[in-house]
Structure 1
Amino acid sequence: MRTVAVGLPAAALGGALAQAPAAQARSRTRSITQECDPGKGQILQWGPNSAPAVPEAGWSGVTAISTGACANMYNLMLKNGRVTTWGNFNLNDVNQQRLSRVPVAATRDVTAIATAGRYAFALRDGGVIVWGGTYDGQLTLPEAAKSGVTAITGANGGSSYGLFLKNGGVIQWNGYVPVPDEAKEGIVAISARQHALALREDGRVITWGENLPANLTVPAEAQSGVTAISAGGGFTLALKNGAVLAWGNNDYGQLEVPYEAQADVVAISAGNLASMALTATGKIITWASNYYGQLDIPAEAQCGASAISCGYVCMVVL
């Protein structure tokens, strides 16, 4: 049986679930051919013309990417264990200077990266590194985040906060809504934007935070069997049996998951107003708002993408 997207369109009342009309999705797709040379580790981005150009360090050897907030003011890449940041920094602004300077501790042996509004995170030897903000006192991490952490994520909308995964439990930094008890054990994946997401080992999605009630109501289809999660701007994506599920705000068609994303999907990324998916056959799919050109997938995106990230812009690692 083919799984289809589910969600709560803006017009839904009383918390009832509705099925998203996949056939009406506003989307773009591009297939990856067998004639290219995948595995180069090159960043390719598209979206607003004001987006900062990818620096030379991002032309090869990149293993992870994270798009920032504020119309792509900054981004992070991971290459040979070293974090590099780039963006539309105003270096006359002390706060943006802080964000643009990668700390020495994040220049080697880093295994994961995450953007979080005015902050940036890196994971090294199980300890979280944070930089940015407006003053040093904001950068105090909980003691539990200094060792044994296995995954990190940051919120890029509304408040800036971070989630860290340690021993199957979620640690939250700078968040306003406490972590629910059911997210303190048995968790295998995390994601955050205005709202927070956690995925339990039984495949059930948990969500909390200050957001639309529709977005904080997990549909029945996401109560089991989910294998990946991604928090977007007022909506949520989840991956189940190779198909994308979506719920929350549908003002720009975020819940109208296209037919191509209802089978064989291996990665998902929910952006501010648009989303991305990558299939096992190498097809890149974007849908919802095209205000920043997120749906205009470039022809160059045909070479074995290994990572995807969507914010105001969309990026892939080829």
Structure 2
Amino acid sequence: MPSSRLPLLLFLASLAAAPSLASAQVVMTWGYPSPPLDQDRPPSNLRAVQVAAGGTHGVGLREDGSVATWGQTIYSQSNVPSGLRAVQLSAGDKHTLALDTDGYAVVFGSNEFSQSDVPAGIAALQVAAGLNYSLVLRTNGTVSGWGDNSQGQTSIPFGLTATQIAAGFYHSLAIRPNGSVAAWGWNADGQCNVPAGLIPSKVAGGYRHSLALRADGSVVAWGRNSEGQCNVPVGLVATQIAAGDDYSMALRPDGTVALWGTNVRGQTSACHYTGVLQISAARHYWMCIVAAAHCTLDQSEVFAGDSATGTVRLANRAPAGGTVVGLTSDDPRVHVPASVTVPQGEMTATFPVTTDFGVTGDSTATIQTVYGTTQGEGRTVPAKLKVKRATASVTTNASVVEGSTTKLTLTVGLTRPTDRNVTFTLSELITNGTFNFPASITVPAGATSGKGYATVNLVSFPGQRVIELRHEGNVVATTPIAIKQLRGTLTFDAPSILSGGSTTGYLFLGSPVREALHVLIDCSDTNVVVPREVYVMAGARIVQFPVVTSAVAADQTVSMRAFYGSNATGEYPVIGSLRLLAVPSIKSLTLPASVYGNGKITGTVRLNKAAQAGGTIVQLSSSDPSLRVPASVTVPQGQYSATFVATASDVASAAWTPW
């Protein structure tokens, strides 16, 4: 019959079903054994740390290593050897197999099939009792068997070494060191046909079927399935398994029991037990140990910020004055009272479970009782509460221009409303100083979003930034945003200017600026003078500045650059060009070589380049008052020359007049 070895450290059990004493773990049974020999009636004062269900009797292991028995006695299966102190028990149909504290197998009860004839000197790690045979896992990893071998159940496979063994009714199983399973004995229904690739952590044998428990808690069954004993419940996760006569059972992590297979004796009818610590199966009934105190929850999961109700459950009614049971939670965001008092005569008391709101990811809290003065009393089954935290998000503009008056709209969203105001803060990933964030953004109680606004400063370089959303200092969401350069253009009143004159320059920005913008203007040409710095006023996008030029001998183009914001380093300057036009000069002045007194002559002024717009005025003068010339002559726009008339006075003799 299936059994597993307990750790060498034993646990003290408390007195059961005695209202005047504190609650202790109790042994419970389920189903109706056949024949009824009181094997389902454990002593009321038994404080067991392990139990084993046999065909005609039951056995329990106390913390001090002593053994309790009940049920049929005619085969001496209840005659415990004097002074026996054990660490593990297993019950067959009419015999009991024990592993004593010295590590040796001890058998008592029926010896009809020599199942009680222990080979001398067997040091063991584990014992397992079949229907009428015995198995031991020896300290060197080998397996020994004796007793009924009618189906080859004690014919150990040659060379077998194992880490765990199990005995069914007429077949045996073992887990090899590599994790694979060996099975031998009666195989009429395929109970020894181990599924390919099976690597379990535990095995169990029933009448004509076998069970295995994988490390992930899943259960595998094979062999006879006439009563559904191999139909493992979908999604079952277990910590222990046991097999009986055409039925199967498993202990879930939450301390409840799963049952499937035949129910002819009520062995698989709906079981209400909670807080179960250990299970053991026999022919038509099974038994278990229920914790002295444990807790359950009315919900398996809640949203962060919501609450649940827990219930402390005792194995026995509380004595006079009530029973105080401590409580703990391993999650600082899940709160339970330090203790709860179960009133006198009662077996349960409720307590509140509250959770803190959060958006830092789901978590699972372990809530458990703290009870008793010994390890045995303190053994419990913890309750698990999954806390689902709301998911937060933050969105904003896809892009924004540095230093502009544009405001960023920051929207914080939650996947569900909460019953309280939830406050978030904002930060910038890696870089700093790009944004002027609000102090916080609050999502009001009952809402799923909140808004805030931010502005953008001038930056040292444009490009993508990442905004972080924080709750209680933790980053819970991020959003990218592109920071665009504040672009501009440099223009002038006209694209060209006659050198020596002046004009006005303009810096036009692509967006109005949020704060006054300091702009540096640079021109490396000494023929042009501009102010070194100018300011674009807050809210404006244009600034003008004077441009003064010197005369140049030939046309030329002058470049000017403006620096501000992300282009202040010179990587992205704003560049403008102004064409300086050379001023025309006199190429020649010609007159006839002579003129008669009181006569007139025509002179010609020639320029080195075409006259500019509006014409070019040439000033004229004569060094001899006897030859009069106009004060000036205008060369028409686009022309290279112009004529003028000079008048001579009457003279007494010929004279030469220089110009």
Other-structure match for 1:36: none
Matched, 1:227 2:205: no
Give, in angstroms, the shift of residue 84 of structure 1: 0.9
Kindly provide the CA deviation profile for residues 84-139 of structure 1, in whole angstroms up to 9, marking residues without a partner as x: 1111x2x6xxxx15222111142xx3101111222211111111111112579763
Q: Distance in 2 between matches of 1:100 and 1:180?
A: 32
User: In structure 2, how many angstroms separate the alpha carbons of the residues matched to 1:273 and 1:247?
Assistant: 12
Partner residue of 2:462? none
- Match for residue 4 of structure 1? none
- Classify 1:136/1:208 alpha carbon distance in 2 versus 1 (closer, same or farther; 3 Å): closer
The equivalent residue for 2:278 is 307
CA distance in 2, matches of 1:256, 1:40: 35
Q: What is the distance in 1 between the residues matched to 2:113 and 2:195?
A: 41
- Residue from 195, 198, 212 that aligns with 2:188: 212
Structure 2 partner of 1:23: none
The answer (yes or no) to whether the contact 1:289–1:295 under 8 Å persists in 2 is yes
Secondary structure of the corresponding residue to residue 233 of structure 1 = coil
Deviation of 1:292 (Å): 0.9
Q: Which residue of 2 aligns with 1:269?
A: 242
Supply the distance in 2 between the matched residues of 1:243 and 1:266 (Cα, whole angstroms).
Answer: 9
| Pair member with larger Rg | 2
Return the offset for 1:211: 3.1
Is 1:57 the counterpart of 2:45? The answer is yes
Aligned pairs for 1:290-305 (under 5 A) are 290-299=263-272, 301-302=273-274, 304-305=275-276
Does residue 119 of structure 1 match 2:95? yes
Corresponding position of 2:119: 142
The answer to whether 1:83 aligns with 2:60 is no
Deviations 1:186-211 (A, max 9, x none): x1110012100001122111000123
Distance, in Å, in 2 between the alignment partners of 1:136 and 1:244 is 33
TM-score relative to the length of structure 2: 0.37
Secondary structure in structure 1 of the residue aligned to 2:76: helix
Supply the AA of the counterpart residue of 1:233.
Answer: Y
- Residue 40 of structure 1 and its aligned partner are, at CA, apart by 3.4
- Report if aligned partners of 2:89, 2:127 keep a CA contact under 8 Å in 1: yes
| CA displacement 1:196-233 (0-9 Å, x = unmatched) | 000112211100012315112111142xx210100011
Is residue 199–residue 205 contact of structure 1 (8 Å, CA) maintained in 2? yes
The AA in structure 1 aligned to 2:50 is: A
SS in 1 for 2:24: coil
Structure 1 residues 306, 272: closer, same or farther in 2, change over 3 A?
same
Displacement of 1:281: 2.3
Identify which of 159, 163, 169 aligns with 2:135: 163
Aligned to 1:104: 82
Aligned residue in 1 for 2:212: 238
Checking the alignment, whether the CA contact within 8 Å between 1:105 and 1:129 is kept in structure 2 is: no
Aligned mates of 1:188, 1:77 — CA distance in 2 = 24
The CA deviation at 1:46 is: 1.1
CA contact (8 A) 1:196 1:231 kept: yes
Query: Which ranges in structure 2 are unaligned for 5 or more consecutive residues?
Result: 1-22, 291-659
- The structure where helix makes up a greater share of residues is 1
Q: By how many angstroms is 1:144 displaced?
A: 4.0
Q: What amino acid maps onto 1:120 in structure 2?
A: T
Q: Which segment is superposed worse, 127-136 or 114-123?
A: 127-136
Q: CA deviation at 1:283?
A: 2.7
CA distance in 2, matches of 1:135, 1:174: 8
| Partner-residue secondary structure (3-state), 2:228 | coil
Identity of aligned residues (%): 29
Map of 1:256 onto structure 2: 231
* Structure that is richer in strand per residue: 2
Q: Deviations over 1:156-190 (max 9, x none)?
A: 2xxx111101121111122422100242x2x1110
- Secondary structure, in 3 states, of the residue corresponding to 2:77? helix
2:175 match: 199
1:275 partner amino acid: S
Q: 1:257 to 1:214 in 2, by over 3 A?
A: same
Name the residue aligned to 1:3: none
Q: Which residue of 1 aligns with 2:584?
A: none
Q: Which residue matches 2:289? A: 317
Q: Secondary structure at the match of 2:276?
A: coil
Aligned length: 254
What SS does structure 2 have at the residue aligned with 1:214? coil
1:6 is aligned to: none
Bigger relative contact order (CA 8 A; separation at least 6): 1
Match of 1:188 among 140, 163, 170: 163
Are the equivalent residues in 2 in contact too, given 1:246–1:255 (CA < 8 A)? yes
- 4+ residue segments displaced more than 3 Å: 134-139
For the 8 Å contact 2:219–2:232, the answer to whether it is kept is yes
Shift of 1:282: 2.2
Q: Any stretches of 5+ residues in structure 1 without a counterpart?
A: 1-38
User: Hey, what's the Cα distance between the residues in 2 that align with 1:62 and 1:137?
Assistant: 29
Structure 1 position 314, deviation (Å): 1.6
2:24 counterpart of 1:40? yes
2:530 maps to what in 1? Answer: none
Q: Which of 253, 256, 263 lines up with 1:280 in the alignment?
A: 253
Instruction: Report if the CA contact (8 A) 1:76-1:86 is conserved.
Output: yes
The one-letter amino acid of 2:192's match is L
Structure 1 residue 140: Cα displacement? 2.7
Aligned to 2:600: none
CA deviation profile, 1:228-287 (whole Å, cap 9, x unmatched): 1000110000011210000000010011111142x3x11100111211101222231000
- Residue 315 (structure 1) shift: 1.2
Deviation at 1:296, TM superposition (A): 2.4
SS at the partner of 2:45? Answer: helix
Normalization by structure 1: what TM-score? 0.75
